[in-house]
Amino acid sequence: MQAIFITGGASGIGQAIAKRFAAEGWRIGLADVDAAGLSATAAMLPAGADTYVMDVRDRDAWIASLDDFTGKTGRLDVLANNAGIPLGGPLAEAPFDEIDRTVAINLTGVLNGARIGHAYLKRTPGSCLLNTASASAIYGSAGLATYSATKFGVRALTEALDGEWAADGIRVRGLVPAFIDTPLLAHPTSGSNRSIRETVTGAGLELSPVEDVAEAAWAAVHGDALFVYVGKTAHRLRFAARWMPGRLRKMMRRGQSGRRAVSDS
């Protein structure tokens, strides 16, 4: 039985990936800091899941969790490096502790998973590291500077390891979703009483269902593309960044000016 270990598995994209792979008969390992969410996700799956209350910043917890999971499964076919948190609002107003926490979880946590997960993946022929990036890794998003920086890092890591790990027989893939309808969007924008959901929809951007990301994850693991893009916004940003970078730059400036006008009113 093939096995996948998913960080951020208590809700949102991680939960959706778990449901998609479980439907195909895979053994599921779920990791998250949210114990109740892990139990709820496991209860949704036909055969349940092995759950690990784990912070991706904790390297010892990574080793203990992967040791336990692979000890039960005998293999690790996919490591879904998915855990992440949002941080919106002007960088100049962001508290330093929020900046540090976002970088530590979104980037260092993914590096931890890749560095520690390599040994387990290498022992399973045809295995795959699946990193969750973001449309904010296509072009730096005004109002999401720290978040964009971390997701650019995830994108760069994916590209680097695609070359670095080829000799080890490990495939590396990246998900590039736009704005996905998950509980993370309920978080407040830094320096504002508006939620990220309100900011996104107020800018006229669409939200994609989380099931679309799960399908993209399945396609990524079984396909040849380095990155799989999810949602209209991700595809539009990809096109604009390549063919209309000047226009995209102006759009980002106009959008940020509009957000400041709203927040100042």
- What is the DSSP code string of 188-237? BPTTSSSBHHHHHHHTT---B-HHHHHHHHHHHHHSS-SEEEESHHHHHH
> Is 229 known to be catalytic?
no
Residues 63, 221, 103, 195: is their CA dihedral positive or negative? negative
- How confident is the model over 123-173, as pLDDT tens digits? 999 999 999 998 888 877 778 899 999 999 999 999 999 999 999 999 999
What are the structural domains, with CATH classification, of the chain? 3-264 (3.40.50.720)
pLDDT on residue 257 = 43
Q: What is the pLDDT of residues 74-124, one digit of tens each?
A: 999 999 999 999 888 889 999 999 999 999 999 999 999 999 999 999 999
- Does the pLDDT at position 200 exceed 70? no
Which is higher by pLDDT, 9 or 143?
9
Of 52, 120, 139, 147, the catalytic one is 147
Q: What is the pLDDT of residues 128-138, one digit of tens each?
A: 999 999 888 88
Residue 5, classified by CB atoms within 10 Å of its CB into exposed (0-12), middle (13-18) or buried (19+), is buried
- Residue in the block written with tokens 């260092």: 108
pLDDT at residue 195 tops 60: no
Residue 35 CA from chain centroid, whole number:
19
Task: Give residue 252's pLDDT band: very low, low, confident or very high (50, 70, 90).
Answer: low
Q: Where are the extended beta strands (E) located within 9-100?
A: 27-32, 50-53, 78-81
| Contact assessment for residue 176 and residue 135, using Cβ atoms and an 8 Å cutoff | yes
pLDDT for the residue numbered 184 = 60
